[in-house]
Amino acid sequence: MRAWMNGRLLTDPEQPALSVIDHGVTVGDGVFEAIKVVENVPFALTRHLNRLATSAAGLGLPAPDLAEVRRGVAAVLEGQDLPLGRVRITFTGGPAPMGSGRGDEPPTLIVAAGPMAPYEPTTAVVTVPWPRNERGALAGLKTTSYAENVVALAHAQERGASEAIFENLAGHLCEGTGSNVFYVLDGELRTPTLASGCLAGVTRALLVDWCGATEIDEPISVLAEATEMFLASTTRDVQAVHLADGRELVAPGPVTREAMATWVTREAENPDP
């Protein structure tokens, strides 16, 4: 792994570098991005930087200097040999008093890069008993307050699944802990709308454009009727689901197979680098 923080490359990325009172650490007051790297080149970087800025604005953090973030990304990738990797950008409220109130120190900007293992082509998912709050202050933002996802993912992993699926407060299908959900019903490819409270996934948006998926909010029980299902994310690309709450699905089914093929072809164009 290589890491860069507040304008300089760290000589040892494993050594402590962050203030113990950084608001990102003490109360999860920060935003982040995870970006796929293929042959040392970040995928759709501009889309990720735009979402970083949107998340920061949603949290009321200062606007990140995106040119500086790009310099950090270039610094952690320079001279690396990453056939498949991940860049992680973290932007926090910076050092602050130990409570929820913000301090007046500048924000902290961290960029790190390391290798990424390819995901299995198919996977199992389980729905979890905790809802996403689509009306909450953090809805749709990619914040470092991700402990709900940690709990849900652990719940799924204890049940032999690699992803946990949330419904929202309205009882509608929402998203996974780190992925968006697509499914096929009546032969139509569908995915929840952004109003469901799901993250505006970069992979999701590209797939909606490229495959023409219908954005619709439906009760989470649609998963019991879906003929196909797949997860979409930076780390999974298009990953077919073969088991959803113990129900077997064809994986990949014909629609998923087409989405996978489209993804592989169009990804090579690297939109919005």
Ligand X SMILES: Cc1ncc(COP(=O)(O)O)c(C=O)c1O
The one-letter amino acid code at 211 reads C
Q: Does 116 bind ligand X (CB under 6 A)?
A: no
Q: What is the three-class DSSP state of 58?
A: helix
Instruction: Give how far Cα 94 sits from Cα of 5, 32, 61, 91, 159, Å.
Output: 12, 14, 10, 8, 37
User: Binding residue for ligand X (CB under 6 A) from 69, 202, 223, 251?
Assistant: 202
Q: Phi, psi (5° rounding) for residue 73?
A: -65, -45
Which tokens hold the place of 109? 């900007």
Rounded to whole angstroms, the Cα distance separating 121 from 231 reads 11
The one-letter amino acid code at 114 reads G
State which of positions 164-193 bind ligand X (CB under 6 A): 175, 178-180
Q: Which residue's Cβ lies closest to ligand X?
A: 201
Taking CB under 6 A as the binding criterion, the range among 9-17, 120-128, 184-192, 230-238 that sits at the site for ligand X is: 230-238
Between residues 78 and 120, which has the closer beta carbon with respect to ligand X? 120
Q: Does 72 bind ligand X (CB under 6 A)?
A: no
Rounded to whole angstroms, the Cα distance separating 107 from 5 reads 11
Counting residues that bind ligand X (by CB under 6 A) gives: 15
Q: Does 90 bind ligand X (CB under 6 A)?
A: no
Q: How far is the CB of 231 from ligand X (least distance, A)?
A: 9
Taking CB under 6 A as the binding criterion, the range among 16-24, 61-69, 109-117, 196-204 that sits at the site for ligand X is: 196-204
Rounded to whole angstroms, the Cα distance separating 227 from 235 reads 24
Q: How far is the CB of 99 from ligand X (least distance, A)?
A: 27
| Cα radius of gyration (the chain) | 19
Q: How far is the CB of 47 from ligand X (least distance, A)?
A: 8
Q: Does 203 bind ligand X (CB under 6 A)?
A: yes
Between residues 22 and 175, which has the closer beta carbon with respect to ligand X? 175
Asked whether the bond before 252 is cis by omega within 30 degrees of 0, the reply is: yes
Q: Does 199 bind ligand X (CB under 6 A)?
A: yes
Q: Does 162 bind ligand X (CB under 6 A)?
A: no
Q: How far is the CB of 173 from ligand X (least distance, A)?
A: 13
Rounded to whole angstroms, the Cα distance separating 218 from 184 reads 12
Residue 167 and residue 175 in contact, taking contact as beta carbons nearer than 8 Å: no
Q: Does 95 bind ligand X (CB under 6 A)?
A: no
State which of positions 38-67 bind ligand X (CB under 6 A): none
User: Binding residue for ligand X (CB under 6 A) from 108, 196, 234, 256?
Assistant: 234
Residue 165 and residue 220 in contact, taking contact as beta carbons nearer than 8 Å: yes
Interface ranges with ligand X (CB under 6 A): 34, 142, 175, 178-180, 198-199, 201-204, 232-234
